[in-house]
Amino acid sequence: MFSRLVFVGLVFAGLALWPLVAGAYGLDLVIKIMIAAIFALSLELLVGATGLVCFGQAAFFGIGAYAAALLMARFDGAALWWLLPAAVLCAGLYALAVGALSLRTRGVYFIMVTLAFAQMAYYVVHDTPLGGGTDGIYLPGVPTAPLDLGKPLVFYGLTLASLALVFGVLGLLLRSPFGRALAGIKANEQRMRATGFSTYPYKLAAFAVSGAIAGLAGFLFAVKDGFVNPELLAWHQSGSVLIMIILGGLGHLRGALIGAFALALLEEFFKSEAVWGSFAKHWHLGLGLTIILSAALLPKGLVGIPQLWRDRLEARGE
Amino acid sequence: MDFASFLIQCLNALQYGLLLFLVASGLTLIFGIMGVINLAHGSFYMIGAYMAYALAPIVESTFGGGFFSTLVVGLVLSVLLGYLLEWAFFSFLYEREHLQQVLMTYGLILVFEELRSILVDDQVHGVAVPPLLAGSLPLGELMSYPVYRLFVSGVCLLLAAGMYLVLTRTRLGMMIRAGASNREMVQSLGIDIKFLYRLVFAAGVAIAVLAGMVAAPVSSVYPGMGNTVLIVCFVVVVIGGIGSIRGALLAALLIGIVDTFGKVLLPSAAGVLVYVLMALILLWRPDGLFKVA
Amino acid sequence: MSEVLLRCERLTRRWGGIVAVNEVSLALASGEVHAVIGTNGAGKSTLINLLSGEIAPSAGVVELLGQDVSAWSQPRRARAGLGRSYQRNTIYPGFSVFENCRLAAQARRPRAWRWWQSALACEQTNEAARAAAQRAGLTDLLDRSAGLLSHGQKRQLEIAMCLATAPRVLLLDEPLAGMGAEETERMLALLAELRAGQAMLLVEHDMDAVFRIADRITVMVNGAVIASGAPDAVRANADVQAAYLGGH
């Protein structure tokens, strides 16, 4: 337990100190990773903590992003203090609606229904004038009040604060009665109901919170890139974030962190021409093989490595 | 819409639906019998299409064969591929948890995509319709329908009929159907489960590859085609009910109709319609149309 | 006359053309152990599911503590004082025995809104959990991971989790399933202790156990009740003998 806190503490300390050593590229990369980590944490709440495998998380991410773009286009000089909550709220509301309908199904069917609702959102922004179509929308600038997000350091600070906040809140949430109830639902929903828990409201609440957090990530992403397009809601995004948390390790918040970092760093590694020369354009190959290997060798994800080490040392000690 | 146009759309719907059914049937069997979620199944379809493109010149120069020879060569290769893949990779997935299978087969998609990129390329290609089937069937005064598309539907129907016969009339088929509804029972009956799995897997791969090869002249060959077909196939499998071939056929045809007519009647909503359909069906029947016990 | 805690009247459940439970009426009084026996397929499981609220009746009424709960969901009935154990364990294998009981007890005081507070901060819930574990004889095993318990201990935990919600009525589905002689003795002793102030409905196949512990026995065949009464009367009943010996 203590070692986990130390690990997380080190990670955040490292992130806080990173701007001192990083150049513009490094800063940009880590901002991207932190946004991915927030996205991953949102899904971890559903998949790892509650056992609800949602394959439509990209929709909430994309809605947060599009809300940013559309609201900024509509309201000149929009201030961050209402813009951000508004985007988060939009995503959360859609998640509430999707959850209300999807939670009637179970297992693989639940997975597919969540996908269906994400695809619906995708096609709305892809095919209707609402979302600006396949070309996407450029944001008319960045929010400058009260924080000037045009400055990289300021934006880095906001992203880091958001990540820390989400991590902290989820940490508290998962050890609270609500979080324990989610764990019980994941372990054996039948028993939870037999004991007197109405499980539907709990699952729905988790769904809405998860969607809201994903919307936060989407908002940050939109502001960072200055551009949103329908691909943000594509099922590849939903798949990618699922891969992140499985790779990192399900059932642990830091697994989401680790997975986001690992996937991004692996991508950077395999894309590096310094290492691979002209073969670097086939970086999917290296990434794919690494994913296969880690799934084969690390059934509990990267988070399980310390335990594997301990088991191996113990076995050797006998 | 006049009658000829309507007929054309019906035939298109049928052709698309049947193609989907072919690919989806492999997926539903593999999931139903072996309990493996295989995200890479769409890649087999893509492999088939690219094979149709890449093998054609090789087959032609080696023994002067045309489209049909390419099909045969492709089929043989795909059975080999399926057999090897099952032995080297998928057999390790049976005991794993679903999400681990998701992770591993996702990695496999990436590997296949890059192998294709390395061995062939990343371009969009057309594949020529074989001269024998290049004509058009006249429908009414102004319209005609390409013979090749009818051929595609024909091949799919033939394969579907073959599958039906094997599944319902042979002992092997009986074991497969039993395996789809109760895996443990089949194992405890002492049937050589390893062989059965390998066979089913290789067949699933071969059918998907064949579907890709046959579809190539119609849909052209492009890098993302595997993923596009994959997601629709999952929808088919889920609507139809996991493990049910009958369900996959009905669902595929339904989707064929909704998608084809949707594109014509409501082009801006066409993309969504399939998913709306799925959501509606699942909210009515949460276990799909034909739940296999 | 003891208070009637659970009652059902002409409870019926049809699946398509089959009548799984056919106009079953029974009453459970406080302090009573009422066993329901019958051959396989007699409808006992369906009856328990109807009483617990997992399935809705096609006809008939279920009354809990004087209230008509026929339309109530299972969680709602559980909160009103109806506990249920299952034939196959529904414990949480990854948690400790204490956490299993605590989570069950939490149902009484959900406190779902206090997201910032640890679940362990509610001392009342913790106490209820410890008390339930103690009644079930699991005090020494509180820190053990539930997945590592023996089968008998798991069945005890299953009961403990029911007790953690302080129910007035307990529905026990084959609590002795898969138990050896010693474990059965322990469980029967436990069940005997639990009667005070509660009513118990027991579905069981172990006839010796049933005749030892039950105050009343109801016999079901093909969904209908063919006999109901004190153990001796039931044992002597001609219909019952025919059903068990006549090869149903």
- C49 shares a domain with C27: yes
- For residue A165, the distance in angstroms to the closest alpha carbon of chain C comes to 13
Rounded CA separation A41/A44 (Å)? 5
In the prediction, which pLDDT does B231 show?
87
Q: How is domain A22-317 classified at the architecture level of CATH?
A: Orthogonal Bundle (1.10)
- Give the DSSP H or E segment for A270: helix A253-271
- What's the number of domains chain C is made of? 2
Please tell me which residue, B190 or C151, carries the higher pLDDT value: C151
The predicted model gives B32-42 an average pLDDT of 86
State whether C72 and C171 are in the same domain.
Answer: yes
Q: How far is A181 from chain C (nearest CA, A)?
A: 7
Instruction: Find the mean pLDDT for residues B217-245.
Output: 87
Question: Is 50 exceeded by the pLDDT of residue B73?
Answer: yes
d(CA B44, nearest CA chain A) in Å: 16
Q: What is the pLDDT of residues B106-144, one digit of tens each?
A: 899 999 999 999 888 888 888 888 888 888 888 777 778
CA A89, chain centre distance (Å): 16
CA distance A107 to C239: 45
A243 contacts chain B (CB < 8 A): yes
CA atoms of C5 and C56, how far apart (whole Å) = 20
Highest-confidence segment of A202-211, B17-26, B100-109: A202-211
Per-residue tokens: B233: 């196939």
pLDDT at B180: 67
Q: How far does chain B reach from its first CA to its final CA, in angstroms?
A: 43
Domain boundaries along the sequence of chain A: 22-317
Residue A177 phi/psi, 5° resolution? -55, -40
User: Best residue in A53, A55, A104, A109 to probe B by mutation, most B CBs within 10 Å?
Assistant: A109
Do B and C make contact via 3 or more CB pairs under 8 A? The reply is no
B contact chains, 3+ CB pairs < 8 A: A
Instruction: For residue C188, give the CATH number of its domain.
Output: 3.40.50.300
- Write down the residue that tokens 């005991």 correspond to: B95
Residues of B in contact with A241 (CB under 8 A): none
Residues C157 and C177 in one domain: no
Domain ranges of chain B: 12-121+131-284
Give me the mean pLDDT over the B46-61 stretch.
88
Q: Answer yes or no: is pLDDT of B67 > 70.
A: yes
Report pLDDT for C248: 40
Eight-state DSSP code of residue C137: T
Nearest to C91 by CA among C139, C147, C136, C170: C147
Number of neighbouring beta carbons within 10 Å of residue B154: 15
**pLDDT tens digits, one per residue of A238-254:** 989 999 999 999 999 99
* Cβ partners under 8 Å of residue C81, min gap 6: C5, C64, C65, C166, C167, C168, C169
Pair C113, C171 in one domain: no
Q: What does pLDDT average to over chain A?
A: 91
Give the pLDDT of residue C247: 42
Give the mean pLDDT of chain B. Answer: 86
Give the single-character DSSP code of B89: T
User: Which class for B152: exposed (0-12), middle (13-18), buried (19 or more C-beta within 10 A)?
Assistant: buried
Shortest distance between the Cα of A117 and any Cα of chain B, in A, equals: 7
Closest C-alpha among A137, A157, A134 to residue A147: A157
The answer to whether residue B247 scores a pLDDT higher than 60 is yes
Question: Highest mean pLDDT range out of A53-62, A96-105, C222-231?
Answer: A53-62
Q: Pick from C119, C136, C166: which residue ends a domain?
A: C166
Q: H/E element holding B119?
A: helix B98-119
What letter would DSSP give residue C2? P
- Taking an 8 Å cut-off on Cβ atoms, the answer to whether B279 and A123 are in contact is no
Task: State the complex-level ipTM.
Answer: 0.90
- Chain A residues touching residue C64 (CB < 8 angstroms): none
Test B272 with A124 for CB contact under 8 angstroms.
yes
Tens digit of each residue's pLDDT (9 = 90 or more) over A126-140: 888 777 788 888 888
Question: Each residue's pLDDT tens digit in chain C (248 positions)?
Answer: 578 899 999 999 998 888 889 999 999 998 899 999 988 778 898 999 999 999 999 999 999 998 999 999 999 999 999 999 998 889 999 899 999 999 999 999 888 888 888 989 999 999 999 999 998 889 999 999 999 999 889 999 999 999 999 999 999 999 888 888 888 888 888 888 888 778 999 998 888 888 888 999 999 888 888 888 898 888 888 888 877 765 44
Task: Determine the pLDDT at residue A3.
Answer: 82
Residues C129 and C160 in one domain: yes
**Domain end among C166, C199, C222:** C166
C53/C173 same-domain check: yes
At residue B66, the 3 state secondary structure works out as coil
Contact C225, C42 (CB under 8 A): no
Q: Nearest-CA distance from A311 to chain B in Å?
A: 20
Distance CA C52, CA C36 (A): 15
Q: In this structure, what DSSP letter does residue A314 have?
A: H
Neighbours of A54 (CB within 10 A): 33
Q: Do C115 and A176 touch (CB under 8 A)?
A: yes
The H-or-E segment that residue C44 falls in is helix C44-52
Quick: pLDDT tens for A184-196. Answer: 999 999 999 999 9
Which amino acid, residue C90?
T
What was the pLDDT predicted at B129?
A: 84
Which of A172, A184, A190 faces C115 most closely, judged by CB atoms? A172
**Given CB atoms, is A162 within the 8 Å cutoff of chain B?**
no
Record: contact C103-A175, CB cut-off 8 A: no
Q: Which domain holds residue C6?
A: 1-81+167-248
Evaluate the CA torsion angle C173, C178, C179, C184 in order and state its sign.
Answer: positive
Q: Could you tell me the pLDDT band of residue B292, with boundaries at 50, 70 and 90?
A: low
Q: How far apart are CA C3 and CA C81, in angstroms?
A: 14
- Of A157-161, B63-67, B91-95, C148-152, least confident by mean pLDDT is B63-67
| Closest listed residue to residue A185, CA positions, set A200, A170, A172, A173 | A200
Q: What's the pLDDT at B95?
A: 79
- Within 10 A of B88 (CB to CB), how many other CB atoms are there? 9
- Same domain? C99 vs C154: yes
Question: Last residue of some domain: C150, C166, C182?
Answer: C166
DSSP type of residue C33: E
> Is the pLDDT at A162 greater than 90, yes or no?
yes
- Give A-chain residues touching B103 at CB under 8 angstroms: 243, 246-247, 291, 295
A96 HSE (CA, 13 A, CB side): 10
Q: What is the pLDDT of residue A277?
A: 85
Cβ atoms of C111 and C139 closer than 8 Å? no
Q: How far apart are CA C10 and CA C22, in angstroms?
A: 7
